Amino acid sequence: MESLTFVTGNSGKYLSVKEQFEKNNLTVGFYTYDAKELEINDIEKISKNKASDAYKILNKPCFVSDTGFYIENYPNNPGYPGAFVKRSNISSDVDSLLNTMKNVKNRNCKFVDCLTFFDGNEYYTFFGVSSGTLSCEKRGNWNKKFKSNLWYVFIPKNCSKTLAEMSDEERENRCDGRTSALNDFIIWYKNEYLKQKSKTLIL
């Protein structure tokens, strides 16, 4: 079977990806690389650029996963930080974010995941969205599966707990209407991409 590698500098993301692949009887390699991001607020272009950079290093099929965080009524800048999560330092300084948002009543926000797979010829991009609200204080405890410090303050739709307060089972089975870029990618990769590659090899 064709070797596939997930490229990221985030160990929490890798653990989540590895777990989902194993559930689907697939294996995935891991390459630690924190690629430089384009200075634009466009998560798809950033993701494709990272996938291209990663392929140049590995010279084999690989994929990357990026996440934007959009705060509906961020003061004087609706939708901020978007794709600038890391560069804005919002995820590393959650206390400052809460202070900025302390008098804002509309606390709607969402995570948007963008996963890009590049096989050297084509880019395949998948999106996932998880909507919710911003809590008024940090809640929950750190664990090794953390993808972001924003888990301390993000309450998924139809839930009362932050992601950091939830158990692994609660996070996995929450009913917030979210979509998953990773799950969609795995289904496509397993049922379409690999089967097409097999047919090509037979021919």
pLDDT at position 203 is 46
Domain residues for 11?
5-202
- CATH at 169: 3.90.950.10
Q: Which of 55-64, 168-177, 191-200 has the lowest mean pLDDT?
A: 191-200
Contact in structure between 147 and 13 (CB atoms under 8 Å): yes
Contact in structure between 46 and 113 (CB atoms under 8 Å): no
Q: What are the beta bridge partners of residue 82?
A: 69
pLDDT at position 200 is 59
Q: What are the beta bridge partners of residue 2?
A: none
Q: Which of 62-66, 79-83, 141-145 has the lowest mean pLDDT?
A: 141-145
Q: How many domains is the chain built from? A: 1
Contact in structure between 163 and 140 (CB atoms under 8 Å): yes
| DSSP 8-state assignment for residue 82 | E
Residues 6+ apart with CB under 8 A from 91: 69, 85, 148, 149, 150
Contact in structure between 111 and 157 (CB atoms under 8 Å): no
